[in-house]
């Protein structure tokens, strides 16, 4: 039996609570699967600043590089907003993405049947929804230079630069095309090519890759403003969407609400494969939710689903990932609901209760297989 090491970065706000429940799931699979998982913890974000004076300590980077995969809770909160921009919690998250070369962010938006009525859209628009948004993560306006705030003629001017190299576009396009080939062979590239030259180049490079290497994938292009509208008008027209850092950030949060709650959305951030190993960080799409931190009411499902993605993409344990996703679907079908996804007739539970219900369902699946 092989052993894989997972680095846990609980972070801030509700992060420690949802990671703690996911750790119980990790331990369950370690005891009931073909792989043994070991875990360790490190600081990232606001808690890291409080402990070490920096949101991204060198010790955390060292531990991240040694790990087989990383699970992050959340970072940030009002407590740290007065800090200088360079040491705010979010700089830790951006820093680890950059240092590990995590350029491909996979954000699935899947609506569990039991939650179709929890969406802000009509059931018929979201029932069966299964979208994968592929967001470029280490380029674009979040990292472009020059950037900053300056004073000219007594007036403040803020500026950021959107920059992409054609190689960055090509590598994220290939990730998206590969995923599309494994799904429904349909890819939509989202840009703003009518007004932004950087995304005009993006469109051209994605088209070149499609024409040369992925003739069996139906490629379409869409402006980002139209894509936002289409996501709420007819979301099931999409299968795989590939887009830039900024546009992906916005569109994936929009898609999250189609599923009922941000508390349901996982994500994976992947680097390039080197010597058979790919750096990978998994995290829920939601933030640190400081307003409910410490109350035991946060939804752990997005973090648990992030571990399911880890099983699938880092450890090639597709069967185990399916098993975990089935357990979550089962628990939701039984009516278990945290406050963010409560629907009429639902059984309102807290963080720990939801985690325990998922483990109970996993136990039931294991017994059924053994029968």
Mean pLDDT throughout 244-270?
89
pLDDT in the model for residue 256: 79
Give the pair of three-digit tokens for residue 192: 């703003």
**Is residue 262 scored above 90 in pLDDT?**
no
Q: What is the mean pLDDT of residues 102-112?
A: 94
Would you say residue 31 has pLDDT above 90?
yes
Statement: residue 132 has pLDDT above 80: yes
| pLDDT of the residue at 344 | 65
Write the secondary structure of the chain as one string of H (helix), E (strand) and C (coil): CEEEEEEEEEECCCHHHHHHHHHHHHHHHHHHCCEEEEEEECCCCHHHHHHHCCCCCHHHHHHHHHCCEEEEEECCCHHHCCCCHHHCHHHHHHHHHHHCCCCEEEEEEECCHHHHHHCCCCHHHHCCCEEEEEEECCCHHHCCCCCEEEEECCEEEEECCCCCCHHHHHHHHHHHHHHHHHCCCEEEEEECCCCCHHHHHHHHHHHHHHHHHCCCCEEEEEEHHHHHHHHHHCHHHCCEEEECHHHHHHHHHHHHHHCCCHHHCEEEEEEEEECCEEEEEEEECCCCCCCCCCCCCCCCHHHHHHHHHHHHHCCCCHHHHHHHHHHHHHHHHCCEECHHHCCCCCEECCHHHHHHHHHHHHHHHHHHHHC
Band the pLDDT of 263: cuts 50, 70, 90: confident
pLDDT at 361 over 80: yes
Q: Indicate whether 100 pLDDT > 90.
A: yes
77-85 contacts: CB < 8 A, separation 24 or more? 77/12, 77/13, 77/46, 77/288, 77/290, 77/293, 78/290, 79/46, 79/290, 80/46, 80/49, 83/49
Check residue 121 and give its pLDDT: 87
Calpha distance 93→54 (Å, rounded):
12
Lowest mean pLDDT among 22-31, 120-129, 241-250: 120-129
* Model confidence at 342: pLDDT above 90: no
- pLDDT at residue 105, rounded to an integer: 96
pLDDT-above-90 percentage for the chain = 85
Identify the pLDDT of residue 279: 95
Backbone angles phi, psi at 271, to 5 degrees: -100, -175
Q: Which residue has the higher pLDDT, 246 or 85?
A: 246
Lowest mean pLDDT among 26-30, 51-55, 273-277: 273-277
Looking at every residue in the chain, the average pLDDT score rounds to: 95
Tell me the backbone φ, ψ of residue 19, rounded to 5 degrees: -70, -35
- The whole-angstrom separation of Cα 280 and Cα 272 is 9
For 53-57, what is the mean pLDDT?
97
Confidence of residue 89 (pLDDT cuts 50, 70, 90): very high
**Catalytic residue set:** 142, 192, 225, 249, 253
Over residues 56-64, the mean pLDDT reads: 97
- Residue 258: the pLDDT is 87
Residue that is written with structure tokens 């790990």 in the block: 67
Residue 102 is encoded by which pair of tokens? 């995590």
pLDDT bucket at 73, cuts 50 / 70 / 90: very high
For the segment 218-247, the average pLDDT, to the nearest whole number, is 97
Please tell me the distance from the alpha carbon of residue 73 to that of residue 108, in angstroms, as a whole number: 17
pLDDT, residue 300, reads 97
pLDDT tens per residue, range 175-215: 999 999 999 999 999 999 999 999 999 999 999 999 999 99
How far apart (Å, rounded) are the C-alpha atoms in residues 118 and 260? 5
Taking residues 65-93, report their average pLDDT. Answer: 95
Instruction: Please give the domain boundaries of the chain with CATH numbers for all domains.
Output: 1-110+259-371 (3.40.718.10), 130-257 (3.40.718.10)
């Amino acid at each position: 039996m092989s052993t894989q090491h997972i680095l846990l970065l609980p972070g801030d706000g509700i992060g420690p609570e949802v990671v703690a429940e996911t750790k119980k799931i990790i331990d369950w699979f370690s005891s009931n699967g073909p792989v043994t998982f070991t875990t360790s913890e490190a600081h990232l974000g606001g808690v890291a600043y409080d402990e070490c004076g920096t949101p991204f300590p060198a010790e955390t980077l060292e531990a991240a590089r040694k790990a087989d995969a990383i699970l992050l809770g959340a970072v940030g909160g009002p407590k740290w907003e007065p800090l200088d921009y360079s040491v705010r919690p979010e700089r830790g998250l951006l820093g680890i993405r950059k240092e590990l070369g995590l350029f491909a962010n996979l954000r699935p938006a899947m609506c569990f049947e039991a939650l179709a009525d929890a969406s802000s859209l009509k059931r018929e628009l979201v029932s069966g929804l299964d979208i994968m948004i592929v967001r470029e993560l280490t380029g674009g306006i979040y990292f472009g230079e020059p950037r900053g705030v300056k004073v000219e003629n007594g007036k403040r001017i803020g500026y950021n630069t959107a920059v992409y190299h054609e190689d960055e576009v090509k590598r994220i396009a290939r990730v998206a095309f590969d995923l599309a080939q494994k799904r429904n062979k349909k890819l939509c590239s989202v840009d703003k090519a009518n007004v932004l030259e950087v995304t005009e180049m993006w469109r051209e490079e994605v088209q070149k890759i499609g024409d040369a290497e992925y003739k069996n994938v139906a490629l379409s292009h869409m402006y980002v403003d139209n894509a936002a509208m289409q996501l709420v008008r007819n979301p099931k027209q999409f299968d795989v969407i590939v887009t830039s850092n900024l546009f992906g950030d916005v569109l994936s949060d929009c898609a999250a609400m189609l599923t009922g709650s941000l508390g349901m959305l996982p994500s994976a951030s992947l680097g390039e494969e080197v010597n058979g190993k790919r750096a990978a960080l998994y995290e829920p799409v939601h933030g640190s939710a400081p307003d409910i931190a410490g109350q035991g009411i946060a939804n752990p499902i997005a973090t648990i689903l992030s571990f399911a993605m880890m099983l699938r993409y880092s450890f090639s344990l597709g069967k185990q990932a399916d098993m975990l996703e089935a357990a979550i679907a089962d628990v939701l079908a039984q009516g278990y609901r945290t406050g963010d996804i409560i629907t009429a007739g639902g059984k309102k539970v807290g963080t720990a209760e939801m985690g325990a219900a998922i483990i109970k369902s996993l136990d039931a699946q294991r017994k059924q297989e053994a029968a």
